[in-house]
């Protein structure tokens, strides 16, 4: 990124002229007053700040992806003139474009399209932006036979400026920004096709979607493809089946079944967090699963979130029924119920902060197109907690939570994460003053801990801004897990109060927070992070005792009972398989330790210990071996990093 003095930028001219005059290389786009713009469009007014983006800037990659989607659409139109183009955005992992084309695209078609895209890239055709009136725009696309584009134009708000981009002879409706020219596309790969409904609505026409990835160099593409191959090996859905952890059934779509081994891991996560709560002054509660819909009308979720909720109605069956016909909903989150619980008693300022934790099951209706294994499900629970506190306590509670995240993640071998601050969205509740104060408090807390963070404008919850914690897994992928959200609105809506030191009632502040986030999502992400090699305290089977032959079975049984009595989750393999096969089976099931028993171990009362990676720790005296395995199987203490 190159900082440019705004005084150097001539108003009414494009940045490209400045870039050429200064002989600057590899400029992708520009950030002008925090807005990403292309370098060919003239600057309308003197900016406050100008930054020229180079390939190593994250926003530059999104510009590359978006531009490449346009180039793919151009290639498709050249090769398949009857295909109609619809939309083609950049995504967090690449880009795609949807087409109305039958019979769809074969793998051979993708190879042809990719080759045509490379040819277009070599032309170094500039991306140029043009504006047009609504009627002219509709006529242009109608004359081109692009009826989906006409429909998109109709859906754009009346006061919005309409623009299109052109590279070569290809024209596409777009607000931009785009690359200076097509030659920036180096590492390109079309990956696969899929069906997609127009506008994501199953009532609409099924379109043909082509996905791709692109980078500024072939080396980056190679690294990405290698990462994707590693990701396939670590896919939590594959590992979940192989390790007998969880499964799904079509009669409960997007709702996981946890098998005994998976349930054990799941419950260990909860127990670990319960220990954290006990240390940090949280009180666990249990709240109802089903609520009258009036609760969610009061909270604002009925108006702002109802499309993602499950509803049911009850009807009076007899004239004597006390229950009238009512609308009910399963809870999609715990916060409204926690407000009811807080409001059941009077609270003194001396009792605040009140930290309320809940592992209650939640249900959200996620569209089938976005559900994915454990990472996006319809039923889940969270390590969810809400902190009711005074304004004076807000900052210290924020800092305490940020510090807690910094202790918990390393305990699971997670050493790297990014922090993002999401601000007020367009659709929100609450006063301007409350939002300003909440956002400032989050900024101040992060700055006080000297934490670098990215601001996500307009991506906060409808009731308040939030901090998001995005972890980096073992192969460099980013996953959003933890969150801290500020909420002035719900205490107001539920008329929550506390009695202050001056004996007057005041309104508490509410903080929503989670570290794992959804336990299901954390389970899936962590399974991929570890490749199934859970640390000892989480492993469903921590030690497998393996006798070399049947002669050692009695001693192996004795060792097993000693381990079980010490609280170790141990198993015993007394099958007729050879020793090598038994050890391989334990390794395939990711058992952290194998305790091998042969003639010498029996005679000397020892246990030969092997790690699942193949390292032989030797034969230890039984008492010493048990003590070692107990230590390795113990949950990490809070604040004590423990690698995977």
* Annotated catalytic residue 466: yes
Q: Which CATH number applies to 543-633: 3.40.50.720, 1.10.10.10, 3.40.630.30, 3.40.50.800?
A: 3.40.50.800
For residues 566 and 350, give the distance between their C-alpha atoms in angstroms, rounded to a whole number: 43
Beta strand residue intervals within 8-154, DSSP E: 29-32, 35-37, 50-53, 84-85, 95-100, 128-131
Catalytic residue (one of 138, 149, 236, 335): 335
Q: What is the pLDDT of residue 318?
A: 54
* Annotated catalytic residue 54: no
Q: How many residues does the chain have?
A: 644
Catalytic residue (one of 51, 167, 382, 542): 382
Catalytic residue (one of 234, 261, 355, 512): 512
Query: Pairing relation of β-strands 163-167 and 170-173?
Result: antiparallel
C-alpha 511, offset from chain centre: 21
For residues 375 and 247, give the distance between their C-alpha atoms in angstroms, rounded to a whole number: 13
Query: Pairing relation of β-strands 498-499 and 466-472?
Result: unpaired
Q: Which CATH number applies to 58-233: 3.30.499.10, 3.40.50.2300, 3.40.50.1370, 3.30.980.10?
A: 3.30.980.10
Tens of pLDDT, residues 568-604: 999 999 999 999 999 999 999 999 999 999 999 999 9
* Annotated catalytic residue 384: yes
Sheet harboring 128-131: ordered strands across?
A: 128-131, 163-167, 170-173
What are the sequence ranges of the domains in the chain?
2-53, 58-233, 256-530, 543-633
- Asked if 462 contacts 490 with a C-beta cutoff of 8 angstroms, the reply is no
Q: SS3 for 257-292, per residue?
A: EECHHHHHHHHHHHHHHHHHHHHHCEEECCCCCEEE
C-alpha 141, offset from chain centre: 37
Q: What is the pLDDT of residue 643?
A: 39
Q: 545, 590, 549, 548: which is closest to 571 by C-alpha?
A: 545
Residues of the chain with pLDDT under 50: 320, 640-644
The DSSP result for 229-260, as a single string, is: HHHHHH-HHHHHHHTT-EE--TTSTT-PEEPH
Cα distances from 438 to residues 113, 490, 496, 500, in angstroms, run 49, 14, 18, 21
Catalytic residue (one of 358, 384, 487, 573): 384
* Annotated catalytic residue 386: yes
For residues 342 and 74, give the distance between their C-alpha atoms in angstroms, rounded to a whole number: 59
Catalytic residue (one of 466, 477, 569, 590): 466
Catalytic residue (one of 149, 181, 355, 386): 386
Pure H helices in 293-382: 293-299, 301-305, 335-342
This prediction's pTM: 0.81
Tens of pLDDT, residues 427-465: 887 888 888 988 999 999 999 999 999 999 899 988 889
Count the Cβ atoms, other than its own, within 10 Å of residue 447: 11
Catalytic residue (one of 178, 364, 521, 569): 364
Rounded to a whole number of angstroms, the distance between the first and last alpha carbons of the chain is 36
Q: 583, 479, 468: which is closest to 527 by C-alpha?
A: 479
CATH classification code of 256-530: 3.30.930.10
């Amino acid at each position: 990124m190159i900082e440019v003095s705004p005084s150097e930028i001539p108003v009414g001219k494009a940045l490209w002229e400045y870039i050429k005059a200064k002989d600057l290389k590899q400029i992708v786009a520009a950030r002008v007053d925090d807005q990403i713009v292309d370098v060919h469009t003239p600057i309308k007014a003197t900016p406050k700040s100008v930054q020229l983006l180079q390939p190593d800037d994250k926003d530059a990659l999104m510009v590359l992806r978006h531009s490449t989607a346009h180039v793919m659409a151009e290639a498709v139109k050249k090769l398949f003139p009857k295909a109609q183009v619809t939309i083609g955005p950049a995504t967090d992992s690449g880009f795609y474009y949807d087409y109305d084309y039958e019979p769809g695209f074969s793998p051979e078609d993708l190879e042809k399209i990719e080759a045509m895209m490379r040819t277009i890239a070599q032309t170094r055709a500039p991306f140029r932006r043009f504006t047009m009136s609504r009627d002219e725009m509709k006529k242009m696309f109608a004359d081109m036979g692009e009826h989906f584009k006409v429909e998109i134009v109709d859906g754009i708000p009346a006061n919005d400026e309409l623009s299109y981009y052109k590279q070569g002879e290809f024209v596409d409706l777009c607000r931009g920004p785009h690359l200076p020219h097509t030659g920036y596309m180096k590492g390109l790969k079309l990956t696969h096709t899929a069906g997609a409904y127009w506008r994501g609505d199953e009532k609409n026409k099924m379109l043909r979607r082509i996905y791709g990835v692109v980078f500024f160099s072939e080396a980056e593409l190679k690294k990405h493809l290698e990462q994707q191959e590693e990701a396939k090996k670590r896919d939590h859905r594959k590992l979940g089946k192989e390790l007998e952890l969880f499964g799904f059934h079509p009669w409960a779509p997007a709702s996981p079944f946890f098998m005994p081994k998976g349930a054990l891991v799941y419950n260990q996560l909860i127990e670990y967090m319960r220990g954290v709560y006990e240390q940090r002054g949280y009180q666990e509660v249990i709240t109802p699963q089903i609520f009258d819909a009036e609760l969610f009308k009061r909270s604002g979720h009925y108006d702002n979130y109802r499309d993602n909720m499950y509803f049911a109605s009850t009807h009076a069956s007899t004239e004597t029924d006390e229950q009238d016909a009512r609308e009910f909903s399963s809870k999609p989150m715990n916060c409204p119920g926690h407000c009811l619980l807080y409001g059941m008693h009077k609270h003194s300022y001396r009792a605040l902060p009140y930290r309320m934790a809940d592992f209650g099951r939640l249900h959200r209706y996620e569209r089938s197109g976005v559900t994915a294994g454990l990472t996006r499900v319809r039923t889940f629970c969270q390590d969810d907690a809400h902190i009711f506190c005074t304004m004076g306590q807000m900052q210290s509670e924020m800092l305490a939570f940020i510090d807690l995240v910094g202790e918990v993640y390393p305990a699971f071998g997670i050493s790297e994460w990014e922090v993002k601050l999401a601000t007020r969205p367009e659709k929100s509740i609450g006063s301007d003053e409350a939002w300003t104060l909440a956002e400032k408090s989050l900024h101040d807390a992060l700055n006080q801990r000297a934490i670098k963070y990215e601001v996500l404008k307009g991506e906060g919850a409808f009731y308040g801004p939030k901090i998001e914690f995005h972890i980096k897994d073992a192969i460099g992928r980013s996953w959003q897990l933890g969150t801290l959200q500020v909420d002035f609105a719900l205490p107001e809506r539920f008329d929550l109060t506390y009695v202050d030191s001056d004996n007057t009632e005041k309104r508490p502040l509410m903080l929503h927070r989670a570290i794992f986030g959804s336990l299901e999502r954390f389970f899936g992400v962590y399974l991929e992070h570890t490749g199934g090699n859970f640390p000892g305290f989480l492993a469903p089977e921590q030690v497998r005792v393996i006798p070399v032959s049947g002669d050692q079975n009695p001693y192996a049984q004795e060792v097993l009972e000693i381990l079980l009595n010490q609280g170790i989750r141990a198993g015993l393999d007394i099958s007729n398989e050879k020793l090598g096969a038994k050890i391989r089976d334990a390794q395939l099931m990711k058992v952290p330790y194998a305790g091998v028993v042969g003639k010498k171990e029996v005679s000397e009362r020892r246990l030969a210990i092997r790690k699942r990676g193949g390292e032989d720790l030797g034969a230890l005296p039984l008492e010493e071996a048990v003590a070692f395995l107990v230590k390795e199987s113990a949950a990490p203490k809070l604040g004590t990093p423990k690698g995977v």
